[in-house]
Amino acid sequence: MTADYKTPGSDTTAPDGPVADESGTLRPADAPRLDPRPVYRPKIDAASSRAFGRPGGVTGSFAPSDARRESEPSVKVGAPDPVLAEAFGRPDGEVDTIQRDPHEKPATTAVAAPPADPWRDPDAGVELGSPALHAEEHSRPPAPALSAREVLFGGKVAPKALVALGGIALAIGLVGGLLAAVITADRSSLTSQSVTLVQGGGEEDLGQSPVAQVADAVLPAVVSIQVAVGDQGSTGSGVVIDGAGYIVTNNHVISAAATAPDGGKIQVIFSDGTKAEAQIVGRDIKTDLAVLKVAADNLTVAELGKSGDVQVGEDVVAVGSPLGLSKTVTRGIVSALHRPMRLSGEGSDTNAVIDAVQTDAAINHGNSGGALVDDTGRVIGINTAMLSESGGSVGLGFAIPIDDVTTVAQTLIRDGRMHHPDIGVNARTVVNDDTSGAQVANVRSDSPAARAGIVENDVIVKVGDRTVTSADELVVAVNLQKIGEPVRLQLIREGRLVDVDVTPASD
C-alpha cells in the first residue's frame, strides 16, 4: 500500500517508506501528525504586573531611545564654588590641563648651566677656600687684666686680709695632715705593737659541763692496752676495777697474746703516761671478757653502776683509745637494751653472744674494753663491738652490761675461769606467719634438754621470763639462768604450746 503526500514547501511526491520531516528527522509515512503542545502561561496578579510588567505604551522588550532620554532627568552644571575653584582650578594664565596626550612628545627645554658655587654642586671636589660669609671685624678697646682678688672677692677684700686668710688656711692644712699621719701610722704595716688579744674564762666563769665532769672522774680509771706478739701488735682499752691492780677488758683484745705458742707481751698505759706490764688473770670466750693484773699503786678505780638503772635515751659517755688515740671521750645516748649480739672473728677465739647495751656514742677499733659511763660517772658497760659496713663508726655501738661484767670479772678473779649454764641444744632462728623463735636443730644425748623431753624441730619461744625470738636470744636467755636451778621453757610442738622444765648444767 502506498500513500501520496507532499512535504511543506515541495511538490515532490514522496516514495513509499519513511520520509524526512521539516527538521530532517525520519518518520514513518503512516505516522500521525500531532498538534503542537499548548504553551502554559501562569496567571499573573495585577500587583506583580504593575511591578514587573512593561510600562504603558511600550510594546517591545526595551523602550525607544528617544523615550528613555526624555524620561531621564536633566542635570544642570553650575559654576564651581569659589573656594574649590581657587584650590583645584588652573592658575591664572595657564591653559594646559594636568592630563597630557600620551602620544605627544615632551618639549625639550634648555638646562641652565650649574652654578659656579661648589657648595651647590654635589659633584664638586674637596677644596679649601674662603668662608661663605665673611664676618665683619669690630675693633675693641683694650682693657686691664683682672687680679685674683678681683676675680674671687670682687675687689671687696683688702690685700692684707687676703694674705692673712691664706696663712690661716695653710696652718689648718698642716695641722690636719699631722693628725692624719699620727692616726694612720700603724695602717701602713701588717704588724702592730699596740694590739693585745683578750681571752675570757677562769674560775669566775660557769662551772664544768656534765660531760667534762664525767671525763675528769673516769679518765684516770681507763687505760690503754698494747699487745705485741712477735712483730704484730694491736691496741685496746681497759678499766681499773680494783685498787689491787685488776683491770677488765675484752677477751678479743688480749686473746692473741693468750693463745700465742711463745706467749705475747701485754703492756698497760695509764692516763698519766705510766706504763706497766700486765698478766692475764683469766678470760672467758663465751662473754668476751678478760681480767688483767698490774703491779702498780695509787690506782684510780672506776665506780661501777647497775644494769637495772640504765634506761633507753639517757646520756652516756664512751671512754677509750680508738685507733690508738688514748683518753678519747665521745658522747651519745643509750639507743636500746637487751640487744643480742654475736661476737666472733678471725684472730680471736671469742665465741660469744652478749645481751648488749646499744649506744650511738662513737665507738671505733681500739675502744674495745673501754668504759661506757652514765651521766653520774658510773660505768654501765664495757664497750665491745660496733656494726658498720664501712669499718668506721656509724652510731651503732654495743657494750657488755655491767652486771654481766661484774659477775664474770668477780668469778675470774676468784677462780681464774668461768662456768656457764647449758641445756644441750643447738638451734636456728625461725620466723613465719605463726611464730618466731629458736627451732631446735639437734639435742645432745643425756643433756638437760634430752632429759626434759625436748626434741628436734621444737620451737623454743620463752625461757623463764625472757621471750626468745632468735637462736642468739636463746643463748642469752640460757646464760641468764643459774646452774642447777630448774627453769620453765615454753615451746611450740606440732602447732601446740608446750611447757617443760629444764635444769641447766655447767658447760
Residues noted as catalytic: 252, 288, 368
What does the CA dihedral 432, 435, 441, 445 come to, rounded to 10 degrees?
-170
Please spell the DSSP secondary structure of 1-50, one letter per residue: -----B-TT--PBPPSS-EE-TTS-EE-TTPPPPPPPPPP-----HHHHH
Q: Is 350 exposed, middle or buried (0-12, 13-18, 19+ CB in 10 A)?
A: buried
- Angle, alpha carbons 379-481-316 (nearest 5°): 20
Q: Are 240 and 370 in contact (CB under 8 A)?
A: no
Nearest residue to 248 (alpha-carbon basis) of 263, 232, 268, 234: 268
8-state DSSP, 304: B
Looking up cell 705593737 gives: 193
Contacts of residue 253, Cβ cutoff 8 Å, sequence gap at least 6? 225, 227, 234, 236, 237, 238, 290, 368, 369
Q: Report the distance separating Cα 271 and Cα 369, nearest Å.
A: 15
State the amino acid at position 440 in one-letter form.
V
Which helix H or strand E contains 121, and what residues bound it? none
Q: Report the distance separating Cα 444 and Cα 449, nearest Å.
A: 8
Q: Report the distance separating Cα 400 and Cα 295, nearest Å.
A: 26
C-alpha cell at 269: 698505759
Q: Are 424 and 443 in contact (CB under 8 A)?
A: yes
**CA contacts within 13 A on the Cβ side of 351:** 1
Nearest residue to 308 (alpha-carbon basis) of 410, 406, 164, 384: 406
8-state DSSP, 289: E
DSSP, collapsed to helix, strand or coil, labels residue 322 as: helix
C-alpha cell at 154: 670682687
Q: Is 32 exposed, middle or buried (0-12, 13-18, 19+ CB in 10 A)?
A: exposed
Looking up cell 602447732 gives: 495
Q: Are 226 and 233 in contact (CB under 8 A)?
A: yes
